[in-house]
Amino acid sequence: MAEKNKDLARAEVADFQKSIGGLREEVGKVIVGNREVVDGVLTCMLAGSHALLEGVPGLGKTMLVRTMAQALELQFSRIQFTPDMMPADILGTTMIDEGAGGQRALSFRKGPIFANIVLADEINRATPKTQSALLEAMQEHRVTVSKTSYTLEEPFFVLATQNPLESEGTYPLPEAQLDRFFFKLHVPFPGREELHGILDRTTGMEAPEAKPVVDKKRLLAMQKLVREVPVARHVQDYAVRLLQATHPEGKSLDLVKRFVKFGSSPRGAQALLLAAKIRALFEGRFAASVDDVKAVCLPALRHRVLLNFEGEAEGVKTDDVLLAIMKQLPDTAE
């Protein structure tokens, strides 16, 4: 890399960090703690992909997404998923409009999916048929209704929240849809000090509100910079070997062979590398490392590795399987 390019890269990384710092600060005015979850959602947005947030009701998942939309000055839409919801309630529907002369014509009424940030609230309370209505939008950034395709405006993110599967009235998400989420983030219950902070902000006279700090143009430029971050071959190879180690076939761990039904798809490797690039930029580096890949492994792969019946019966956690794999996997190929 030429010296000028190095200087340019350093300047772009510094601007990137400044923008991220501004976003964190604005979100922090409303959301108490949860730095890992906030950074996880930001990572998904910078990768141009989607996030799945899991946690019991009342932890501020919806508020986090709404605050993020305010700080990014993007068009926001919320879909509250219910068991009786139909695909047309998400995508929109074709209506018959009657003109002034009595002539009738078909017109398409856009659904709430037509926004920059779509909050799919309690997504696993809808039936699998309705959940699957999001598949094309999440992957292709377009929807098809009555044989006509409509392109969604960029940037486009689906930030979905779900209750734990043990909750009453929930349906498991189809594997194909889970795979389209870049990260699956666990929203933890707040600690004592965080609870005090939440109460201070929510029971007083003034309600804090985030102000726009990053516009659409800047966000798209940040996404472009992410793609330019170089990845050394040995780092990419680590991500590939990590992905392969999640499959029960071949030379995988006994733990994997015993408890895993299906390993991660290639989308998992894409998520590992893109998230590693973003983490490097968060820390002011213009090159991804093996440590970056390890740091993003759990949110990138936990929903892409499916346990078998024995694993679920034994109460095995996917995170434990992934941690065991990383513990024994060498940083470089032998």
Residues 283 and 169 in one domain: no
Q: Does residue 250 belong to any structural domain of this protein?
A: yes
Given this model, what pLDDT does residue 150 score?
84
Residues 142 and 242 in one domain: no
If one counts every other C-beta atom within 10 angstroms of the C-beta of residue 284, the result is 11
Q: Does residue 204 belong to any structural domain of this protein?
A: yes
Q: Which tokens go with 250?
A: 């071949």
Q: Does residue 298 belong to any structural domain of this protein?
A: yes
- The total of structural domains in the chain comes to 2
Task: Give the containing element (helix H, strand E) for 148.
Answer: strand 148-151
Strand pairing partners for 109?
A: 93
Based on its alpha-carbon atoms, the radius of gyration of the chain, rounded to whole angstroms, reads 21
DSSP letters for 182-245: EEEEE-PPP-HHHHHHHHHHHSSSPPP-----S-HHHHHHHHHHHHHS-B-HHHHHHHHHHHHT
Task: Give the containing element (helix H, strand E) for 328.
Answer: helix 318-328
Greatest distance between any 2 Cα atoms in the chain:
77
CATH of the domain at 326: 1.10.8.80
DSSP letters for 41-73: HHHHHHTT-EEEEE--TTSSHHHHHHHHHHHHT
> How far is residue 180's CA from residue 136's CA, in Å, rounded to a whole number?
10
Given this model, what pLDDT does residue 279 score?
94
Q: Of 190, 211, 228, at which residue does a domain stop?
A: 228
- 3-state per-residue secondary structure call for 235-302: HHHHHHHHHHCCCCCCCCCHHHHHHEEECCCHHHHHHHHHHHHHHHHHCCCCCECHHHHHHHHHHHHC
Phi first, then psi: give them for residue 224, nearest 5 degrees.
-65, -40
Q: Does residue 158 belong to any structural domain of this protein?
A: yes
Given this model, what pLDDT does residue 298 score?
93
Q: DSSP code of 145?
A: E
Q: DSSP code of 319?
A: H
If one counts every other C-beta atom within 10 angstroms of the C-beta of residue 197, the result is 15
> How far is residue 274's CA from residue 7's CA, in Å, rounded to a whole number?
23
Q: Are 38 and 64 in contact (CB under 8 A)?
A: yes
Residues 198 and 245 in one domain: no
> How far is residue 71's CA from residue 63's CA, in Å, rounded to a whole number?
12
**Burial class for 328, CB neighbours closer than 10 Å (0-12, 13-18, 19+):** exposed
Residues 25 and 144 in one domain: yes
CATH of the domain at 73: 3.40.50.300
Read off the pTM: 0.85
Mean pLDDT by 10 residues, the chain (334 residues): 65 87 82 81 90 77 80 86 85 76 75 88 81 80 82 88 67 79 84 76 72 86 90 93 89 84 90 94 90 94 90 88 91 75
Residues 13 and 143 in one domain: yes
Given this model, what pLDDT does residue 4 score?
45
> How far is residue 44's CA from residue 38's CA, in Å, rounded to a whole number?
10
Residues 325 and 244 in one domain: yes
- Look up the domain containing 299 and give its range: 229-334
Given this model, what pLDDT does residue 168 score?
58
